[in-house]
Every structure is written in structure tokens, then in C-alpha cells.
Amino acid sequence: MWTQGEINGYKYFAKVYHGGSHFGINEGQISKLTIKKGDKMLYNFDRGLDFDNLDKEGKKVYQQILSDHN
């Protein structure tokens, strides 16, 4: 299932499954995750990490997303 949201000005888009997978972040339920601030893409995971340019606040948002959906 695709889900999206916004936390503290960071928008995210995630593909979340009902169970964990070796394709997921930390073998969890999120297999795809994009985090953006404005038009700038800061983080992308697509069955593996593509890039991580998150700042300190962005890393807090990332942790919140994992907590909510993983």
C-alpha cells in the first residue's frame, strides 16, 4: 500500500507492506521511501538506499516515519 504525509515541512511517500521483507528498510515493512523538503529530494530508498542527504531535523522525521510504519 502506498502512503504519504507531511511532518514538520518534510513530505514523504512510502510503499508499506503488511510484513517485513529483506527488501525493506532494516528488513521491515517499508520497501520504498522518498523524503522531500520543498522541491528537493533528500532521501530515497527503493529496495535499497539510493541516497541520504537528510539534515538533523530530517533524520528525526525519518525516525518518526519508521516508528509509524515499520
- pLDDT single digits (tens) 2-14: 999 999 999 999 9
Pairing of strands 30-37, 40-46: antiparallel
Share above pLDDT 90 across residues of the chain, in percent, rounded to a whole number: 87
Which SS3 state, helix, strand or coil, does residue 55 take? Answer: coil
The stretch 27-46 carries a mean pLDDT of 96
Q: Report residue 41's pLDDT band, with 50, 70 and 90 as the boundaries.
A: very high
Rounded Cα distance, 58 and 50, in Å: 16
Q: What is the pLDDT of residue 5?
A: 96
The stretch 19-33 carries a mean pLDDT of 92
